[in-house]
Structure 1
Amino acid sequence: MFLQVVFLALLALLPMVNPPTTATLLLGLSKGMSREHVRRQVNLAAIYLFCTLCVSFFIGSSILDLFGISIPGLRLAGGLIIGFIGFRMLFPAPSQASGVDINQSIAFVPLTMPSMCGPGTMALVISGAAQIAELPEHYNRVTIYSAMVTAFALMSLLSWAVLKLADPVCKLLGATGIDAMTRIMGFLLVCMGMQFCINGIKEVAQDPVFHQVSQASAVISPTTP
């Protein structure tokens, strides 16, 4: 059961985390940074990813309930963050165009959140934790939880390996290639952010509570002659 849970968890997480997309984002954000600083950010991003996945799995649902945050709200917030970052990459300010702060930290935001562990990944992990909690008592919970933590560690290790490839690609493209890649990735991030917002709005519109409120508002509001 341990290996089966690890395999299924990795299979579900891989398309959601999508390390190659984050590697492309790193390629655009690391323009002007030293290689040592980029390597440090990659190492931190892998650690942050593991910690964020574990926190989302064990107490993510409680945190959202504590602050009254819904999954659609999480998607909308993530979409706005991604869109803002993409807009800055697509239209850099004059001060940013000549160079970036070599001490800028990008490991947690945006590499870990919302790129690798965005609203979709967190929703998947939280829903998986809820399903495991509802399993019959004869299932070994310790084995399942250990397998999930192992899957999170392997996913973080795989993401770290993919992000490490951004450095040789950076040397291959050169300054002009990186600038073009930065603007292309910025446009894609704006599109991704808008799609996150659209998905969040769709989920709100499909919520039964939203329909009940809309119907009640229609009944209470006076009809126009």
Structure 2
Amino acid sequence: MSDLLDVRLFTSVFITLFVIMDPPGTVPIFLGLTGAMSRKQRNRAARQAILVAFGVIVVFALFGQQLLQYMHISLPALQASGGLLLLLVAMELLTGKMEEAQPSGNGKVNVALVPLGTPLLAGPGAIVATMVYVKQADHADAWVAIALAILAVHVCLYLAMRFAGLIHRVLGESGTTLVTRVAGLLLAAIAVQMVADAVIAFVQTA
């Protein structure tokens, strides 16, 4: 088994992505974004978000470096743009505009794709971390370890969101509204931190 899988690398990649993508931390934000949806719609949103996040991570793992170089985009620029997008979403959660825009969960904007799938789950942090690990991989067992770690983290993310409906039923409408506001505040803090990190990176590379 050790010949086919680098256990140490698998553990390193899994822990890194788990901390960055934070499955437990996505639950209140997921509830905030899907609070007006039915149970069936919420489960579908969870599947779509995971598929989008997984697809984005895989694409950047395989072609990310070439894509950014071709478009002359730096990693700090990618991080700053993701932070600004999350900040807009956080403002909608804090002001209740997200619920107004989606009274029945059938709004024109699919929150499972943006901002949930990306940049919340598959954000700049996860993308950059994956690209770094892929760049360092030089053996087949390393590639297997990275692939399995990415898959394992996304399974954890799906399970966290899949059972978010149970939390929604326990909290009720008032509790979910409260969680939505708290999630908006936390998401705003995450967004500001992303932008601040991007600015620091810009200054250091200037």
Same fold, TM exceeding 0.5?
yes
- Partners in 1 of 2:106 and 2:39 — Cα distance? 10
What one-letter code is carried by the residue in structure 2 that aligns with 1:36?
K
The residue aligned with 2:58 is: 54
Change (3 A) 1:199 1:157: same
Cα deviations by residue, 1:90-139 (Å, 9 ceiling, x for unpaired) = 0124971892543552222112211111111111111112222xx4xxxx
Q: Is the contact made by 1:83 and 1:194 (CA closer than 8 Å) also made in structure 2? A: yes
* Match among 18, 25, 34 for residue 21 of structure 1: 25
* Match among 183, 187, 190 for residue 189 of structure 1: 187
Tell whether 2:81 aligns with 1:83: no
Give ranges in structure 2 of 5+ residues lacking alignment. Answer: none
* Match among 35, 39, 42 for residue 38 of structure 1: 42
Tell whether 2:139 aligns with 1:129: no
Moved over 4 A (4+): none
> Once structures 1 and 2 are overlaid, which stretch shifts more, 1-10 or 151-160?
1-10
Change (3 A) 1:72 1:97: closer
The residue aligned with 2:202 is: 204
Aligned-residue CA RMSD in angstroms? 1.9
Bigger CA radius of gyration: 1
What one-letter code is carried by the residue in structure 1 that aligns with 2:174?
T
* Match among 108, 112, 132 for residue 107 of structure 1: 112
* Match among 159, 173, 193 for residue 175 of structure 1: 173
Q: TM-score, normalised by structure 1?
A: 0.83
Q: TM-score, normalised by structure 2?
A: 0.90
Aligned residues: 201
Q: How many percent identity over aligned positions?
A: 23
Change (3 A) 1:130 1:157: same
- Partners in 2 of 1:48 and 1:75 — Cα distance? 18
What one-letter code is carried by the residue in structure 1 that aligns with 2:70?
L
What one-letter code is carried by the residue in structure 1 that aligns with 2:176?
I
